[in-house]
Structure 1
Amino acid sequence: STKLVELRCLSESTGCRILGKAEFLSPGGCQKDRVARQIIDEAEAAGLLKPGATIVEGTSGSTGISLCLAAAARGYKVHVVMPDDQAAEKVQLLRRFGATVELVRPASISSPEHYVNVARRHAASLNSQSEGGGLALFADQFENPANFNAHYLGTGPELWSQCDGRLDAFVMSAGTGGTLAGVGRFLKEQSADTKVCLADVQGSALYSKVASGVLYAPEQEEKSIRRHRADTIAEGIGNDRLTANLAMGLQEHNGGHLGIDAAVRVSDQEALQMAHHLLAHEGLFLGSSAAVNCAAAVKMARKLTPGSVVATILCDSGQRQLTKFYNEAAWAEYGLVAPTHHEASDLSFIS
């Protein structure tokens, strides 16, 4: 169980209690630790892993890091395929933790060279060397229901208990969608009145999917997308497709279960400003995904009555993003300007 902390400067400004579950304090540095353990547990239970097998995954980095730690405890090897434009710290950590790292150029999921498709082929190739397989497991975090299960069975119940059964809104960004869908499903089963809100980044099509039922990003029309997955400085969130895990959180795809029922957009500039604001006033050094979540929590809180309780996930630390999200030299590429100082209760930088 990770701690739940109040973000006082956000609470004071909005008149709501804004809480963050500190998943960045997990051993692997984010909530993906839960997913990695659940994937391995379910694979072992199904007899899909032989002793000394290799776990293969396509990842922007965080899930790979968590898999390295979980695999080491179980005697498995890890092979990670990731886009070559992610923060250098993640590659260094993966290699330090014993993973074989294969870097590929960013590509559309429809391309055989997309990092997930490359990982899938590598796992299949390893398994073809043994009758009956078992030499490799394709972790498949985007489509594997173990991702959803980790949060439905773990993170959601923890959060509900920590809030003493009173939570008006849960806000979370989505890459695989497992955290948002899993936590959201559990919370809706406890209280149908709890809002479950997607925080989406620029260049991603998920906001439109929740808001209007159609996967679409304005940047597609403007032909300004620079990379296929999401045109944002934030890593590991945003998507241009509906994953199996996110679909489990959408009523029209999951058999009618209540789930995600709201969405807000957060710009890179808002996320960058929020990250520096929380560092200055809360002493929290958070990564881009957590900054997006906190900015979205403020937007959601403004829509609720005073005194409402809003929770989000502080899913990553800034320590793995010094060369990108916290690197002034990288900001211009994404059209960002240096953040300005605001007093603790001044959130005028959030639209």
Structure 2
Amino acid sequence: MKYADNILGTIGNTPMVKLNKVTKEIDALVLAKVETFNPGNSVKDRMAVKMIEDAEADGRLKPGGTIIEGTSGNTGMGLALGAIVKGYKLVCVITDKQSKEKMDILRAVGAKVVVCPTDVEPTDPRSYYSVSRRLSEETPNSWYVNQYDNMSNTQAHYEQTGPEIWEQTDGKVTHFVVGVGTGGTISGVAKYIKERNPNVKIWGVDTYGSVFKKYHETGIFDENEIYSYITEGIGEDILPKNVDFSLIDGFTKVTDKDAAVYTRKLALEEGIFVGNSAGAAIKGVLQLKEHFRPDDVVVVLFHDSGSRYVGKMFNDDWMRERGFLEEEVAKAEDLIKDHLDKPLVVVRTEELVSHAIERMRKYKISQIPVIDINGFVGSLDESDLFRHYVTDKNLAEKPVREIMGKPYPVVKAGTPVEEISKLFSKDNQAVLVELGEGRHHIVTKYDIIGSIK
């Protein structure tokens, strides 16, 4: 009989899959190492168990102990599998940018989940780095994993992932491309493969808002490059010890939008349902296509499963809100289709300015049309209100008609966006779209800017 003693015995030996449609413009063989076949559905299972076993061996992790780690979700899942099988408690500290699915999955496998803000400095006491360390200091019989600087991370990929790739390609791999976060995967695989063929090129995929690419090219840790980003699982605002820059030949950066769009492309064009960093990785491969020749064998690693991003990259509303959906915006009706259900907020000529201000505050709007019994007769804009307030502190108790500006232009639903754009000026901050049956909707500069792809 053939069976594993427990779920940990199923980690590794993930398949290599040839990519076809999404890489059709690349004149080389492109193979994907699909790590979602691990039991925890990500590459992180490998290093999570390795880190646990090494900590057990040297006494850092003792029987009945608590494992504590800051994670984007996948390492937490791998640690959870190890904790379940080996009898440990687990506390996962996660940032609020991670998908709800990741948090729910961690709780489902018994982890206590602590959520921290994303947009803070690593040294901030609220950051998930700081909270992880603090919890490990406060919790008796605990072990802080620290996957960023724990070299068992790299070693796991040197012992497992690298040899698998070498064997599966019969030693013919010429390029390895992978998203870089903690650095364990790229460094471990690179070390193993370059020991066998120093000519293999190792490319890291970085994201905008991360420091890796510039640091690799210049040696400068530029804090100006650090800002929050959407892509999950790659990029950092620190330099983990597991990132061995000497083994990496170069980096390419991928935008949040491209990472999201190509995550969906992999599912739709290849039938490979993988996560956000896989979308970034395959877009990185496409950006590097001029480096590949017809006889090359390019291996790209896909970190995790698409199931963890169902509420994000695989959700049309989420994609649309961020301008990531490739939808043509050509007419007035296209600009307002996502908020047609919202009523047009108006104010009447005889209402007080204070009423208009209250309404603008309530609905978080900057422009408001003014009406009387005959229809649209004027407009109010926050900049106009401010200008009038400077000269008249009693402005709020005056009727709207005394300070209103000209009414907004009205256009048909089929009016081209280019024509609408021409109607905006210093004196006009909005346009009304006629929808029929006496209904109208407002278009602002924000809508026009939001339509830019």
Taking structure 2 as the reference length, the TM-score comes to: 0.67
Mapping 1:71-90, distance limit 5 Å: 71-90=83-102
Matched, 1:115 2:112: no
Alignment match, 1:172: 178
Residue 218 of structure 1 and its aligned partner are, at CA, apart by 6.6
Q: Secondary structure at the match of 1:305?
A: coil
Q: Secondary structure at the match of 1:8?
A: coil
Residue 323 of structure 1 and its aligned partner are, at CA, apart by 1.6
Mapping 1:121-270, distance limit 5 Å: 121-127=134-140, 135-216=141-222, 225=227, 227=228, 231=229, 233-246=230-243, 249-251=244-246, 259-270=247-258
Deviates more, 1:68-77 or 1:323-332: 323-332
Cα distance change, pair 38–110 in 1 and its aligned pair in 2 (3 A): same
Alignment match, 1:32: 44
Residue 196 of structure 1 and its aligned partner are, at CA, apart by 0.5
RCO higher in structure (CA 8 A, sep ≥6): 1
Residue 125 of structure 1 and its aligned partner are, at CA, apart by 1.4
Tell me the distance in 2 between the aligned counterparts of 1:217 and 1:338: 31
Tell me the distance in 2 between the aligned counterparts of 1:43 and 1:218: 36
Alignment match, 2:364: none
Q: Secondary structure at the match of 1:264?
A: strand
CA offsets 1:33-71 (integer angstroms, 9 cap, x no match): 001110111001101222211100011111111111111
Tell me the distance in 2 between the aligned counterparts of 1:126 and 1:96: 22
Which residue type is aligned with residue 156 of structure 1?
G
Q: Secondary structure at the match of 1:147?
A: helix
1:272/1:339 contact within 8 Å kept? no
> Larger % of strand: which?
2
Structure 1 portions without partners, runs of 5+? 128-134, 252-258, 342-351
Structure 2 portions without partners, runs of 5+? 1-12, 329-453
Cα distance change, pair 322–173 in 1 and its aligned pair in 2 (3 A): same
CA offsets 1:105-133 (integer angstroms, 9 cap, x no match): 22211112211221111112123xxxxxx
Which residue type is aligned with residue 49 of structure 1?
L
Cα distance change, pair 158–295 in 1 and its aligned pair in 2 (3 A): same
Q: Secondary structure at the match of 2:79?
A: helix
Tell me the distance in 2 between the aligned counterparts of 1:11 and 1:319: 23
CA offsets 1:196-217 (integer angstroms, 9 cap, x no match): 0111111111111122222337
Alignment match, 1:8: 20
Residue 332 of structure 1 and its aligned partner are, at CA, apart by 5.5
Percent identity of paired positions between Structure 1 and Structure 2: 36
Tell me the distance in 1 between the aligned counterparts of 2:327 and 2:266: 13
Which residue type is aligned with residue 85 of structure 2?
A
Question: Number of aligned pairs?
Answer: 315
Residue 165 of structure 1 and its aligned partner are, at CA, apart by 0.4
Superposed CA RMSD: 1.8
Residue 10 of structure 1 and its aligned partner are, at CA, apart by 4.0
2:35/2:301 contact within 8 Å kept? yes
